[in-house]
Amino acid sequence: MVNIENLFNNAFRTIKTEPKILLPLVLNWIPASIISVAISIMASDFINKYSLDKLLSTFEKEGIWFITQLLQENTYLIALVILAASTSIFISSFVNAVYPTISYQIYYRKKILISEAVSIAKKRYLKVLWTNIIFGILSMVAIFGTIFLAIILFAVLTIAGGIAGVLIGSITSIIAVLLFIALIVYITAIQIILEPIVVIENIYGLPAIEKSHTLLKGKLFEVLIFIILLMIANGLYFAMAGLIAGLMESVLGTYTIIIEMILMLLPSAFILLSYGLLYLEIAPESISLSDSSVSTKHPQEQNSTSPPELEQPK
């Protein structure tokens, strides 16, 4: 059984005692800052050149050619945004590939080594990216396929059955909505343990997705509880962080954004560590983080009553 309380405690305690694990997340600031600067420059240019009335009137006169002109005038900024967005995807994949290793170190009571986590992430982040792309495509097909089938079924029943068809169609729609919610929950559950599987087990693509599906068998309810508790904790944290940032804005002014960025590191690390720890909780057998075939004895094999507590640093 998944010990969610112990899982969250280990993640929180690690952030508290090993704040250095927040450093990889700082990489995400680079493309975000570039995108923010580029968008600010473009917005400033638009404000200086055009009022809203002038913008609308020019668009009515010139139509698509006006949009083309705007794109040409801001080509370098648009290219900068696209480059930053692309960079963000790769950096996020790399950062997400760092934290399963740290979760592994926590779970197996090893010393927290960022260097080891980064070294493994270098080998795995493209696999993480590729797996997420495949899973994203499959998820979109499943989601839109469900919506499309529900619409078609409702239309057919309504047209064919009159009032009775409308009633049956409405019931069908309710069932479809419930199935859609269940699908979203299941997709989320698979996504949560997908990246840890890729990083720790070094399998990717469809085999990683299949492994995630296999691990969830019989444990979906516990993972659902984990998702709900994580959402609640995340919501409470952001409410508190927003309050703190609001109180400090009167003192620090524009520098408050630095405090906000630092505050955002904490939930990000907590979530990523929790994902890795959850995967290790439901992993059914001994696994090895290295590329070799040598396995580490799983803590659940040592003591089946509960997962290990993180050792307090001396």
Contact of 274 with 13, CB cutoff 8 Å: no
- What pTM was computed for the model? 0.75
pLDDT per residue over 169-215, tens digit each? 677 778 778 888 888 889 999 999 999 999 998 888 999 999 998 88
Contact of 266 with 15, CB cutoff 8 Å: yes
C-alpha to C-alpha distance for 107 and 309, rounded to whole angstroms: 8
Angle between helix 256-282 and 206-216 (nearest 10): 70
Question: Looking at 95-104, 148-157, 245-254, which range is the least confident one?
Answer: 245-254
Question: Which one, of 56, 132, 119, lies nearest residue 93 by Cα?
Answer: 132
What are φ and ψ of residue 290, in 5° steps? -75, 175
Angle (CA) 191-297-197 rounded to 5° is: 15
pLDDT per residue over 229-267, tens digit each? 888 888 888 787 777 767 776 666 666 677 777 778 888
| DSSP helix, strand, coil percent of the chain (3-state; round to 5) | 85, 0, 15
pLDDT at 311 (0 to 100): 43
Average pLDDT, the chain: 78
Q: Which residues in 265-287 are b (16+ Cβ under 10 Å) and which e?
A: bbbbbbebbbbbbbbbbbbeeeb
Question: Which one, of 213, 210, 201, lies nearest residue 287 by Cα?
Answer: 201
Percent of the chain with pLDDT over 90: 16
Contact of 204 with 198, CB cutoff 8 Å: yes
